[in-house]
Amino acid sequence: MRRFFSVGGRRLSYVDFGGPGRPLLALHGHYNEALAFAPLAAALAPGWRVIALDQRGHGESDRAGSYERDEYVADVAAFQRHLGVGPVAVLGHSLGGVNAYQFAARYPDKVSELIVEDIGAVVDCDWSFTTRLPGFETSREALVEALGGSAPYLECSFRQSDQGWGFSFDIADTVASQKALNGDHWRDWMSVSCPTLLIHGSHSDELAAGHARDMITRRAGSISRVELPAGHVVHHDVPNHFADAVTAFLSGPC
């Protein structure tokens, strides 16, 4: 069920996939939105109730004036307060992964378990793909053709408007968000104290295996790593393996 709440004068949207299980807050990456987690929500039910946020500037959430790190983290904190849950398990992919571990680092009493999907403690994002995205197309089919092999990864964000078929995110906003995402985030990563799972793709172009191993060895406490045969969007490329890894982690001792 889609719902909304307000923070800082903006309206944020989220999808509560429902069910009787423990809540799992899910944070998507750039180009995506809450509905990207629909297959995972189905796979985890009924044990887990996935509640996924359309982050600022994405999906049905309002655009924002800026997309800085502290602002994304504040949105996650407001999301959890609105839901009235916590401490809670949090999962994030890419942009959402950094938001998730920064939230866990800065609000340690709010996060019980953390799952980070294919993003590092140091981020060097290339936004050239974003600037090459097509503008509005005359039909959904034309948009799919213009995107080529990238279409399956973006299709949950397709939108039709008076201008034609485009995306639920703004391209200029996405570039601004990607620029703000870049940087050295080791301090936050090292500050996370809850049990953590790092999932990454064996042929990811975003998180190298060596960096993923370094993220594990440099962190104290309960932390593990799973490498799956996938690219950057692991939950899309190998959804069953991804769901199995998440389930095994969440089923373990906290």
Residue 232 above 60 pLDDT? yes
- CB of 93 within 8 A of CB of 114? no
With cut-offs at 50, 70 and 90, classify the pLDDT of residue 224.
Answer: very high
Per-domain boundaries in the chain: 2-122+184-251
Tokens of 79: 């999301």
Residue 149: partners with Cβ closer than 8 Å, 6 or more residues away: none
**2-122+184-251: CATH architecture:** 3-Layer(aba) Sandwich (3.40)
Query: Which phi and psi (to 5°) does residue 179 adopt?
Result: -65, -40
Residue 89: partners with Cβ closer than 8 Å, 6 or more residues away: 22, 23, 24, 25, 48, 111, 112, 113, 114, 115, 250
Residue 253 above 70 pLDDT? no
User: Distance between alpha carbon 126 and the CA centroid of its chain, in Å?
Assistant: 17
- CB of 134 within 8 A of CB of 140? no
Question: In the chain, what is the straight-line distance between the N-terminal and C-terminal CA atoms, in Å?
Answer: 29
With cut-offs at 50, 70 and 90, classify the pLDDT of residue 238.
Answer: very high
Residue 24 above 60 pLDDT? yes
